[in-house]
Amino acid sequence: MLSAILFSIGAVGVLLRRNALVVFMCVELMLNSANLAFVAFARANGTLDGQVTAFFVMVVAAAEVVVGLAIIMMIYRSRRTASVDDASLLKL
Amino acid sequence: MTGEAWTFWIVAPLTVLGGLGLVASRKAVHSALWLAVTMIGLAVLYIAQDAPFLGVVQVIVYTGAVMMLFLFVIMLVGVDASDSLIETLRGQRVAGVLAGVGFAVVLISAVSRAVLPEPVDAATLSPIGNVEGLAELIFADYLFAFELTSALLITAAVGALVLTLQPRARRRKTQRDLAIERFRPVDGDFSAAAGLPTPGVLARHNAVGTPALLPDGTPSEASYSRVLQARQSLASPAQESDDSEPER
Query: What percent of chain B is modeled with pLDDT above 90?
Result: 4
Give the Cα separation of B248 and A33 in Å (integer). 74
State the pLDDT confidence band at B26, using cuts at 50, 70 and 90: confident
Contacting A residues, span 22-41, partner chain B, CB-CB under 8 Å: 22, 24-26, 28-29, 32, 35-36, 39-40
Q: Tell whether B197 and B159 lie within a shared domain.
A: no
Q: Which residues of B170-194 are buried (b: 16+ CB within 10 A; e: fewer)?
A: eeeeeeeeeeeeeeeeeeeeeeeee
Whether B21 and B13 have beta carbons less than 8 Å apart is answered as no
Average pLDDT of the residues of chain B: 77
Q: Tell whether B140 and B185 lie within a shared domain.
A: no
State the pLDDT confidence band at B79, using cuts at 50, 70 and 90: low
State the pLDDT confidence band at B246, using cuts at 50, 70 and 90: very low
pLDDT tens, residue by residue, B140-190: 888 888 899 999 999 999 988 888 887 777 788 888 888 887 777 666 677
Flag whether B106 is in a domain.
no
Whether A39 and B8 have beta carbons less than 8 Å apart is answered as no
Higher pLDDT, A4 or B8: B8
Q: Is A73 on the interface with B (CB under 8 A)?
A: yes
Higher pLDDT, B10 or B124: B10
Q: Tell whether B140 and B182 lie within a shared domain.
A: no
Distances (CA, A) of A84 to A15, A18, A64, B33: 11, 5, 18, 21
Contacting B residues, span 175-214, partner chain A, CB-CB under 8 Å: none
Mutate to test the interface with B, among A27, A45, A47, A65 (most CBs of B within 10 A): A65
| pLDDT computed for residue B72 by the predictor | 86
CATH code, B31: 1.20.120.1200
| pLDDT computed for residue B2 by the predictor | 74
Higher pLDDT, A21 or B160: B160
**Contact check, Cβ <8 Å, A15/B16:** no
Whether B223 shows a pLDDT value over 70: the answer reads yes
Give the Cα separation of A55 and B58 in Å (integer). 9
Strand partners for B27 = B82
Domain enclosing residue B233, as ranges = 175-243
**Structural domain total, chain B:** 3
pLDDT tens, residue by residue, A30-83: 888 888 878 877 777 777 888 888 888 888 888 888 888 888 888 777 766 656
| pLDDT computed for residue B242 by the predictor | 46
Task: Kindly tell me the sign of the dihedral angle through the C-alpha atoms of B15, B17, B20, B21.
Answer: negative
Give the Cα separation of A30 and A36 in Å (integer). 10
Alpha helices, DSSP H only, in chain B? 3-24, 28-48, 52-58, 67-77, 92-113, 122-125, 130-136, 143-164, 175-183, 226-231, 237-244
| pLDDT computed for residue B151 by the predictor | 92
Q: Tell whether B162 and B184 lie within a shared domain.
A: no
- Of the given ranges (B40-54, B75-89, B128-142, B156-170), which has the lowest mean pLDDT? B75-89
Flag whether B26 is in a domain.
yes
| pLDDT computed for residue B105 by the predictor | 78
| pLDDT computed for residue B240 by the predictor | 46
| pLDDT computed for residue B154 by the predictor | 92
Q: What is the mean pLDDT of residues B182-208?
A: 73
Q: Tell whether B186 and B217 lie within a shared domain.
A: yes
Which of B14, B21, B65 shows the shortest CA–CA distance to B40? Answer: B14
Which of B154, B159, B243 shows the shortest CA–CA distance to B204? Answer: B243
Q: Tell whether B6 and B75 lie within a shared domain.
A: yes
Burial (0-12, 13-18, 19+ Cβ within 10 Å), B21: middle
Q: Tell whether B70 and B136 lie within a shared domain.
A: no
**Which ipTM did the prediction report?**
0.77
Higher pLDDT, A53 or B217: A53
Whether B121 and B50 have beta carbons less than 8 Å apart is answered as yes
Whether B55 shows a pLDDT value over 80: the answer reads yes
Give the Cα separation of A29 and B70 in Å (integer). 13
| pLDDT computed for residue B85 by the predictor | 54
Q: What is the mean pLDDT of residues B226-239?
A: 68
Flag whether B192 is in a domain.
yes
Domain A2-81: assigned CATH number = 1.10.287.3510
Contacts from A73-80 at CB under 8 Å and sequence distance 24+? A73/B73, A73/B76, A73/B77, A73/B163, A73/B164, A74/B163, A74/B164, A75/A20, A76/B76, A76/B77, A77/B166
Q: How far is CA B229 from the centre of its chain?
A: 31
Query: What percent of chain B is modeled with pLDDT above 70?
Result: 79
Contacting B residues, span 117-146, partner chain A, CB-CB under 8 Å: 117-120, 124-126, 130, 133-134, 137-138, 141-142, 145-146
Whether B205 and B234 have beta carbons less than 8 Å apart is answered as no
Q: Tell whether B2 and B76 lie within a shared domain.
A: yes
Q: What is the mean pLDDT of residues B206-222?
A: 78
Which of B66, B130, A66 shows the shortest CA–CA distance to B138? Answer: B130
- Of the given ranges (A4-18, B55-69, B214-228), which has the lowest mean pLDDT? A4-18
Q: What is the mean pLDDT of residues B202-220?
A: 78
Whether B38 and A32 have beta carbons less than 8 Å apart is answered as yes
**Cα(first)–Cα(last) distance of chain B, in Å?**
83
Q: What is the mean pLDDT of residues A8-37?
A: 70
- DSSP reduced 3-state for A19: strand
| pLDDT computed for residue B162 by the predictor | 87
